[in-house]
Structure 1
Amino acid sequence: MIDAMRQRLVHALDLATLGDYDAAKAELEPLDDPISGRLLLFIQGLEERDQRDLRARSMLRHEVGNALSIAQSNIEGIVDGVLAPEAARLEGIRDAIVGAGRLIAERPKNSIAESPSTTISLAPLNICALIAAHAAATAGMAEAKGITIVYETCGARKLACENYYGDAMRVGQILRNVLINAVRYTPPGGTIELQCSLDGGRLHVRINDSGPGIAPEDRERVFEPGYRGPNVGSAGSGLGLAVVRQLTEELGGHVDVRSKPGSGATFWIDLPMVSLATTSD
């Protein structure tokens, strides 16, 4: 009896070592003794850790891949003479490459799952220039599909815009993911409109595409990790909008989508408008 129990415990450990957690748990669950119960809890903990690690690695691969895709499409367009090396576009390329490097540098040495929260680094920046840079950088990817990105600023040029206090990389990730999502869903020849405004101490960014739209039952689901809409085809991982919601909330903001099937989708990004003048009072 003891030998049979020992064999089952060892077999469960071997299965867990191979990553077959379901079979390991199935081996232990029928057993009724303290050792098997503790071993079952240990294996469940290992499974949860591996799942967190897998999700975090997928997010990292997605974000670095997005940034490098933006940089690559623009550099190729400039080299081929299709895109002009204008200042905003070059700033967008730089921000994408620097952002990818920072994401990789933030990865923990042992397990990426050791870092449950996002690192937020606040610094002064020109929020209007940041939005313009990401609009110009994404335009390179959009033009390859014959899509036009139109960026309409509020035109106020307020001191608060020029002295915004925030995390340029995280705000850039939010913009990049929504814009790439819009490019992915907008058909060739379509238009993506980007607008920003200030109201009541909040920064509002509106990104509207001319894609197929989102069904009412899917509007909340688009922010779930891994969810992919029915019109995306083979592209997309379903992670981009989940990253947008996570980062927006960690920055103290909110993101929402409004859409009617067949009439495109409009994403509203709301962020706290903190200026250097405010923080110094």
Structure 2
Amino acid sequence: MHEMQGHIEAIESSAAGGVPRKPKQPITWNMTAQANPHNPSEFESVLLAIAGHDLRQPLQVIQAAHEFLGRGVRTTSELSLLQLVQDAIDRLRDQLNELVAALQLRGHATGVKLTPVRVGPLLQQVTYENEIAALTNGVSVRTVPTDAMIKSDALLLGTVLRNLVSNAVKYTQPGGRILVGCRRVEQLVRIDVYDTGIGMTGDQMSRMFEAFTRLDPARCDGLGIGLFIVGQAIGILGHRIDVTSTPCGGSRFSIFADWAE
């Protein structure tokens, strides 16, 4: 059994409350990235990157849903899938509105203002948005419920989580699993995205946050800026991200943010 599957089992057997335990098995590669909040011009740049890349994902949900509906005999599940399409359209409209509002901050502040953000609804939303892609790829995605609240920005944090879960779906083989959850670590909250996917080598990890880097072009035909956006957004938020991975054994992305009382 892959080492990352040990991570999954460790979390699934955790106590009530949705708090994952530390993995029991060691992982081959580890990298920690810490960045300070960026200046306003970089803040504007990452918002433009989100508009050019992250907003394509709801459209991919629409495309996947239509392709799914076109296969074989249609059943009563069609109504449910059509609702997912409508939800994706609504999500795209909402994100555009949020980006316009965020860009308006440019004239009033030097960056984002961190406010209390509930982690649970964000995790549930991100999981929901990736259901069709996961179903199409034969991958299961599960979110551990949580009441945790952190100091962050819901738009940028949602973008980070959306990219991490989307990447996990793309790079996990059929029959694989993805688990999203969080736990409190002293005055911090650690948000984890685990997968049993193809993992990364040390060389891949050293450049994974660079723009236009595609870890496996055969599996993904995107521009390769998903993890670049993650790194930029984490820097703006002043959070920390740890990445642990084993080639052919899966990966874990962990975001550390201050607990909000």
Q: How many residues align?
A: 209
Distance change (3 Å), C-alpha of 1:164 and 1:58 = closer
CA RMSD, 1 decimal: 3.7
Contact 1:62 1:240 in 2 (8 A): yes
1:107-256 alignment runs, 5 A limit = 119-153=111-145, 157=147, 161=148, 164-230=150-216, 232-256=218-242
- The 3-state SS of whatever aligns with 1:222 is coil
Residue 256 of structure 1 deviates from its aligned partner by 2.3
Question: How far is the alpha carbon of 1:68 from its aligned partner?
Answer: 3.9
- Residues 186-212 of structure 1: CA deviation (Å, up to 9, x unaligned): 122221111211111212111112221
1:93 positional shift: 7.1
Residue pairs, 1:8-27, within 5 angstroms: none
Determine the C-alpha separation between the residues in 2 that align with 1:261 and 1:139. 25
Which of the residues 53, 65, 73 maps onto 1:62? 53
Separation in 1 of the partners of 2:110 and 2:232? Answer: 9
Secondary structure of the structure 1 residue equivalent to 2:54: helix
Secondary structure, aligned partner of 1:258: strand
Q: Structure 1 or 2: larger helix share? A: 1
Higher strand share: 2
SS at match of 2:255: strand
* 8 Å Cα contact 2:150/2:189 also seen in 1: no
Question: Quick one: which of 237, 240, 245 aligns to 1:259?
Answer: 245
**C-alpha separation in 2, matches of 1:193 and 1:118:** 35
Alpha-carbon displacement from aligned partner over 1:9-66 (angstroms, at most 9, x marks no partner): xxxxxxxxxxxxxxxxxxxxxxxxxxxxxxxxxxxxxxxxxxxx99975553112212
**Shift of the alpha carbon at 1:126?**
2.4
The answer to whether the 8 Å contact 1:148/1:189 transfers is yes
Match of 1:46 in 2: none
Partner of residue 272, structure 1: 258
Change (3 A) 1:262 1:247: same
What letter matches 2:78 in structure 1?
A: D
Look up the match of 2:24.
none
RCO comparison, higher one (Cα < 8 Å, 6+): 2
Structure 1 residues 266 and 81 mapped into 2: Cα distance closer, same or farther (>3 Å)?
A: same
Deviations 1:148-170 (A, max 9, x none): 1011235xx4xxx2x54431111
Task: Identify which range, 136-145 or 241-250, moves more after superposition.
Answer: 136-145
In structure 1, distance between residues paired with 2:196 and 2:119: 25
Matched residue type, 2:129: A
Identity, % of aligned positions: 24
CA–CA distance in 1 between the matches of 2:86 and 2:256? 26
Structure 2 unaligned segments of length 5 or more: list them: 1-43, 70-75
**Aligned partner letter, 1:144:** T
**Any idea what SS the aligned residue of 1:256 has?**
strand
Paired with 1:85 and 1:232, the residues of 2 have a C-alpha distance of: 31
Over 3 Å counting, the alpha-carbon distance change for 1:148 and 1:185 in structure 2 is same
Distance 2:112 2:59 in 1: 21
Task: Give 3-state SS (helix, strand or coil) of 2:228's partner.
Answer: helix
